Amino acid sequence: MARRTPLYEAHLQAGGKIVEFAGWELPVQYKGIIEEHTAVRTAVGLFDVSHMGEVFVTGPKALEATQQLLTNDLAKCKDGQALYAGLLNDKGGFVDDVLCYRYNEQKFLLVVNAANAAKDVAWIKAHSFGAQIDDRSDEYAQIAVQGPKSRELVQRLTKVDLSPLGYYRFTEGEVAGGQCIIARTGYTGELGFELYTSSGNAMKLWGALLEAGKDLGVMPAALGARDSLRLEMKFALYGNDIDDEHTPLEADLGWIVKLNKGEFIGRQVLVDQKEKGLGRKLVGFTMTDKGIPRHGYPILKDGKQVGVVTSGTQSPTLKKPIGMGYVPLELSAIDSTFDVEIRGRPAAAVVVKTPFVETSNR
Amino acid sequence: MASVPTSLKYTKDHEWVKVEGNIATIGVTAFAAEQLGDVVYVELPKVGAQAKAGATMGVVESTKAVSDVFFPVSGTIKEANEPLADAPETINQDPYEKGWFIKVEMSDASELEKLWDAPKYEEHVKASAH
């Protein structure tokens, strides 16, 4: 039986088309994916991401535990800062990709993918390095407020001054009268905030954001737009672009791997991979022939399969097809060409610079 | 939901057929378009090719999904709505008029008897929309 977030009724009221996603009943769209996508790129959109998991790592061993569990360097992370990181298995593949919020060296919040939450908690508890691990996913709702007008909107509802809050920084305070973690994070590439609040406060906060943002053009946005927005940024989606078989180096996420920080799970595999050279790499590409690339389509060179498409869609911003996929290293440079097999026919594609679009956060 | 035109015939896969003499104009229904979401890509068969009832006629894609469209009748493809390729959103906006896909010269008019009338299709839609 799929679970429902505290905002389920709000989705029905807004005409959300409900689908099952990662064991949750969530809207895939309200009025339309393109309209919601455009609202986020040009104004501001609200996403219910309450299905995401919240796992706290605390105690005197908390820093040591997060350093061992994650690829990024939590010692260099400042209090009040967040880092994107890989949670790797022994083979260097992704157990999950996570956001790690550092309160102080004895308190970290890991935000994990809904589909992986149970697996992640089991993995983290089995590798806790003496830290206290608390899965508090059920206590939290999360609303992502994303778009160039997101700061103006959230600021209308809080006394916390948001102007000094930098990208990947967070603070705590009241928004619309309810206590929140206010984080300048997101999955769209736009200026944006993720508000973590108690499940019981979610409906009130959602309603307040919609009301306060009317003149800014705020609208609820659903899973479909979330997917097309992140794809335009070449942000990886677990289960599509990354999984337990692919390492962060192969996924072109070398920037979240800090090999010099000391030991962490999966490190040796990455060191070896770096030494030997990568066999494959995740690239972003567009089509020079007609057709839209989709997850699972073969990537061909000279008629032979050499890789696979991991994500693809028609970009609502560019109005042309975009995709991501694993290709052999020799085909990973910008301007490299290959074919994507679309319904049995090869269609020409070319590797391009990513992110695919420019956004308000840059 | 938009009403289902009574002058057309329908398939369970949500294609509609308009019959004029031995020419069948074919498209997808408003319900199909709505289910798919914003249509962003259409692939039509070539004029002159053979249509075979039940075979894949083309493809409609939204941002999120790919959906096959099937020939409701057999025959020869006489015309394709080429402007759809550049304006696939027409399928959402006007599925029964400007959003038509192809015109087929039918080779077996008896195939029309297997198609549904509007009330029967409407019931099917209600059942599909739980």
Q: Are residues A263 and A292 in the same domain?
A: no
Q: In this structure, are A119 and A191 located in the same domain?
A: yes
Least Cα separation, residue A34 to chain B (angstroms): 7
Chain A neighbors of B62, CB-CB under 8 A: 33
Residue B49 domain flag: yes
CB pairs under 8 A between A and B: 38
A40, two tokens: 């986020």
Distance from CA of A9 to the nearest CA of B (A): 18
Residues A196 and A108 grouped into a single domain: yes
Going by the DSSP 8-state scheme, the letter that residue A320 receives in this structure is E
- Alpha carbons A117 and A326: distance in angstroms, whole number: 26
Q: Name the residue among B43, B59, B63 with its Cβ closest to that of A314.
A: B63
Would you call B64 and A343 a contact, using CB atoms and an 8 Å cutoff? no
Residue B3 lies in a domain: no
Q: Quick: pLDDT tens for A152-181.
A: 999 999 999 999 999 999 999 999 999 999
Q: Answer whether A250 touches B (CB < 8 Å).
A: no
| CATH number of the CATH domain containing A336 | 2.40.30.110
Q: Does A316 touch chain B (CB under 8 A)?
A: yes
Roughly how many angstroms between the first and final C-alpha of chain A, as a whole number?
Answer: 41
Q: Would the CA dihedral through A148, A149, A154, A156 be positive or negative? A: positive
Q: Please give the backbone phi and psi of residue A99, each rounded to the nearest 5 degrees, phi first.
A: -105, 130
Task: Determine if residue B86 is left, alpha or beta; phi over 0 gives left, psi from -120 to 50 gives alpha, anything else beta.
Answer: alpha
Domain region containing B23: 9-111
- Out of A290, A291, A313, the one facing B63 most closely (by C-beta) is A313
Q: Which of A268, A299, A318 is the last residue of a domain?
A: A268
Please report residues of A whose CB lies closer than 8 A to that of B59. 343
Given an 8 Å threshold on Cβ–Cβ distance, is B61 in contact with A292? yes
CA distances from A262 to A67, A73, A107, A254 (A): 8, 9, 20, 16
3-state helix, strand, coil split of chain B in percent (to 5) is: 25, 35, 40
Question: Which one-letter DSSP state was computed for residue B108?
Answer: -
Residue B64 lies in a domain: yes
Indicate yes or no: CB of A33 within 8 angstroms of CB of B41.
no
pLDDT over 70, % of chain B: 98
Q: Are residue A169 and residue A295 in the same domain, yes or no?
A: no
Among the partner-chain residues B37, B41, B66, the one whose CB lies closest to the CB of A224 is B37
- Tell me whether residue A360 is in a domain: no
Collect the ranges in chain A with pLDDT lower than 50.
none
Q: Which residue of B has its CA nearest to A315?
A: B63
| CB–CB contact A294 B66 (8 Å) | yes
Chain A residues within 8 A of B63 when measuring between CB atoms: 33-34, 37, 224, 228, 313-314, 316
SS3 helix, strand, coil % of chain A, rounded to 5? 25, 35, 40
The DSSP result for A203-250, as a single string, is: HHHHHHHHHHTGGGT-EE--HHHHHHHHHHTT---BTTTB-TTS-TTT
The CA distance from B39 to the nearest CA of chain A, in Å, is: 10
Distance from CA of B42 to the nearest CA of A (A): 9
Report the SS3 class of residue A123.
helix
Question: Could you give the count of Cα atoms lying within 13 Å of A40 in the half-sphere of its Cβ?
Answer: 34
Minimal CA separation from A318 to chain B, in Å: 12
Interface mutation target, options A33, A38, A341, A342, chain B, most CBs of B under 10 Å: A33
Any domain includes A356: no
- Identify whether A263 is part of a domain: yes
CATH of the domain at A42: 3.30.1360.120
Give the contacts of A47 (CB within 8 A, at least 6 positions apart): A143, A144, A146, A220, A221, A222, A226
B37 in any annotated domain: yes
| Chain A stretch 84-143, residues whose beta carbon is closer than 8 A to a beta carbon of chain B | none
Identity of the residue in A34, A290, A343 whose CB atom sits nearest the CB atom of B38: A34
Structural domain that includes position A180: 1-268
pLDDT given for residue A361 in this prediction: 79
Structure confidence by residue, pLDDT tens digits, A72-119 = 999 999 999 999 999 999 999 999 999 999 999 999 999 999 999 999
Q: Which of B37, B43, B59 lies nearest to residue A32, judging by beta carbons?
A: B37
Question: Shortest CA distance to A262 belongs to which of A86, A68, A131, A82?
Answer: A68
Interface of A with B in 12-51 (CB under 8 A): 28-29, 32-35, 37
Based on the fold, state whether residues A71 and A189 are members of the same structural domain.
yes
Q: Which percentage of chain B shows pLDDT scores above 90?
A: 91
Cis peptide before A355 (omega within 30 of 0): yes
Q: Specify whether A113 is located in the same domain as A205.
A: yes
Q: Determine, yes or no, domain membership for B77.
A: yes
User: How many domains, chain B?
Assistant: 1
Contact: B63, A228; criterion CB under 8 Å: yes
Q: Are residues A305 and A261 in the same domain?
A: no
Residue A29: closest C-alpha in chain B? B37
Last-in-domain residue among A246, A268, A290:
A268
One domain for residues A201 and A294: no
Q: Residue A347 falls within a domain, yes or no?
A: yes
Same domain, A218 and A73: yes
> Which CATH number does the domain housing residue B84 bear?
2.40.50.100
The pLDDT value recorded for residue B129 is: 72
Look at A228 and B40 and tell me if their CB atoms are within 8 Å. Answer: no
What are the C-alpha distances in Å from A107 to residues A65, A150, B29? 11, 28, 55
Mean confidence (pLDDT) of chain B: 94
Q: Is the pLDDT of residue B1 over 90?
A: no
Distance of CA B84 to the CA centre of its chain: 13
**A359 occurs within a structural domain:** no
Q: Within this chain, do residues A262 and A312 fall inside the same structural domain, yes or no?
A: no
Q: Assess whether A172 and A297 both reside in one domain.
A: no
Look at residue B2 in the predicted model and tell me its pLDDT: 59
Q: Is A181 found in the same domain as A283?
A: no
- For residue B25, tell me if it sits in a domain: yes
Number of compact structural domains in chain A: 2
Question: How far is A261 from A269, CA to CA, in rounded Å?
Answer: 15
Residue B30 located in a structural domain? yes
Residues in chain B with CB shorter than 8 Å from the CB of A20 are none
- Nearest by Cα to B89 from B30, B36, B39, B31: B39
- Domain-located, residue B53: yes
A313 touches chain B (CB under 8 A): yes
Distance from CA of A25 to the nearest CA of B (A): 16
The model's pLDDT over B55-100, given as tens digits with 9 standing for 90+, comes to 999 999 999 899 999 999 999 999 999 999 999 999 999 999 999 9
Let me know if residue A273 belongs to a domain.
Answer: no
